[in-house]
Chains A and B, each alone.
Chain A
């Protein structure tokens, strides 16, 4: 601004008369050089988004500490390069699929090199998993023509028994003065599973320590995902979106470490086994068997509604697949501003799923083996509730920070027709109670 130029000259320490100074200022105005008051470089070029997460289940189950970072480099005209890194360290135990018994039980570790025991009446947990997982993502996004946006990327992750490699691409197009956006995207992944000790033959027994005769080698699976979406501005305060997703998995879909208890047809107790001299299973446990194919369809809808500074974010997702699992997810966030820069955001999520067609609590030894069976609680019938609170603020340097604390509880049930004998009197479903704590830091340069 013209006045600014004058002010700058006024602060010049050289001895000048006022009139001369003012005159000089005016003449500078008449000149052709324009000291652009705004530097075009002012637009941020880098965006760093980092978080530290703690996830912990009770009862000595899984604990995870995770570092996650997404770095974006913004180029002129809305072109973006993003790089992501995640490092997880997992410890703790996870249910191995066997049911509780009145007496103590023992199992051979996946490696086959030692055994572990479970006290009487306890849910059998395998605590072999102390693992570090590293995941990277890279993506490029740029406008395509006046109304389009194209993006492509790849992803990879590695842990001691698993390697994931994937590519993805998507395109979005704006219509109707950017009120409507249609998008389509796909992802393709090839995952290699290298189970500790080798992949066990499905429906074979858990063997003694040192016996790996029923073990194979590595396995792999392919996953293809397709997403079609539409988002629509409804009013000045309301935007909604709907996505249809299709996912096809082919290959090794088993969990190589999970077993089912092979039980007596009357008592429902696990048939006993005498472990070998070096240790082994105290009962008959069969490795699980899942189909080598899975097709999933999901429909996801979301609305964001602004009410006088507060934002309501509500979404619903329905999923159905050919394993006969149906699920519903309702997720609600309500952001309440506190002053100019801080906010509080309560969060509530409700999830429910029905069990897979081949979900079994245990296998009846007197009956024909079904084509497939798994007692993995994640394929069972359960409800999950999450309740949490997030608090966000801006630092003095105008950077964003937030912390959130959430509590996640899963409670499931076994279909009553699956109970055999004594099983009905025990608490068979491995309910889950977890706490989630996350701290995030975001800044642009």
Chain B
């Protein structure tokens, strides 16, 4: 019985996921994720700390997606090719949004690479993280857990 359900689920997924999970969006709107905790992570292929943050972001996605965590990796490469090459080497489980004209980066006031903006269930900006330090991973995670715990 279980294997039938799993097969059905797989087929459904196949139908929906026409592209790999790291889908490219042309439009972006926060309202799509109302009631969820959204992490907007601005990155670029040439940024070394970004490489370090990807495994952690994948980890967070796997752990907390069920609880309503949405991670969106906003790519700021001028060339889509550079970004695609990077993603082939360092695959992302979370969604990627391509912001090559930096409109979103300007809107959020990105001051460093990478930058993470944690938006709570209420749609308010909770925390901004500049850069990525492996040492502070636990701290970052605690912030996410706290945000997930809040009611929208």
Q: Let me know if chains A and B touch directly in the complex, using CB atoms closer than 8 Å.
A: yes
A residues near B (Cβ < 8 Å) are 1-4, 19-20, 22-27, 29-30, 32-34, 36-40, 42-43, 76-77, 146, 177-178
Closest-CB distance, A12 to chain B (whole angstroms): 16
Is A177 a contact of B111 with CB atoms below 8 Å? yes
B9 interface contact, C-beta 8 A: yes
The distance in angstroms between the C-alpha atoms of A27 and B5, with both chains bound, is 10
Contacts of A30 in B (CB 8 A): 6, 9
Given contacts A38-B58, A146-B130, contact A76 B135 (CB under 8 A): yes
B residues near A (Cβ < 8 Å) are 3, 6-7, 9-10, 13, 17, 20-22, 48, 51-52, 54-56, 58-59, 61-63, 90-91, 93, 111-112, 130-131, 133-135
12 contacts between A and B (CB under 8 A): A1-B93, A2-B13, A2-B21, A23-B7, A23-B10, A25-B10, A34-B63, A76-B135, A77-B134, A77-B135, A146-B131, A177-B112
Is A39 a contact of B7 with CB atoms below 8 Å? no
Is B58 a contact of A1 with CB atoms below 8 Å? no
Contacts of B63 in A (CB 8 A): 32, 34
Which applies to chain B's interface (DSSP): helix, strand, loop or mixed? Answer: helix
The distance in angstroms between the C-alpha atoms of A22 and B6, with both chains bound, is 9
Closest-CB distance, B122 to chain A (whole angstroms): 27
Considering only CB atoms, which chain B residue lies closest to A43 in the complex?
A: B52
Is A26 a contact of B90 with CB atoms below 8 Å? no
Is B55 a contact of A40 with CB atoms below 8 Å? yes
User: Most chain-A CB neighbours within 10 Å: which of B3, B17, B58?
Assistant: B3
Contacts of B48 in A (CB 8 A): 43
Considering only CB atoms, which chain A residue lies closest to B9 in the complex?
A: A26
Is A34 a contact of B10 with CB atoms below 8 Å? no
The distance in angstroms between the C-alpha atoms of A42 and B62, with both chains bound, is 20
Is B51 a contact of A43 with CB atoms below 8 Å? yes
The distance in angstroms between the C-alpha atoms of A23 and B20, with both chains bound, is 18
Closest-CB distance, B102 to chain A (whole angstroms): 12
Given contacts A40-B55, A76-B135, A77-B133, contact A34 B7 (CB under 8 A): no
Closest-CB distance, A160 to chain B (whole angstroms): 45
Contacts of A29 in B (CB 8 A): 13
Closest-CB distance, B44 to chain A (whole angstroms): 13
The distance in angstroms between the C-alpha atoms of A178 and B130, with both chains bound, is 12
Contacts of A76 in B (CB 8 A): 134-135
Given contacts A26-B9, A40-B55, A76-B134, contact A32 B62 (CB under 8 A): yes
Is B90 a contact of A37 with CB atoms below 8 Å? yes
The distance in angstroms between the C-alpha atoms of A23 and B21, with both chains bound, is 18
Is A40 a contact of B90 with CB atoms below 8 Å? no
Is A36 a contact of B130 with CB atoms below 8 Å? no
The distance in angstroms between the C-alpha atoms of A23 and B133, with both chains bound, is 38
Considering only CB atoms, which chain B residue lies closest to A41 in the complex?
A: B55
Considering only CB atoms, which chain B residue lies closest to A29 in the complex?
A: B13
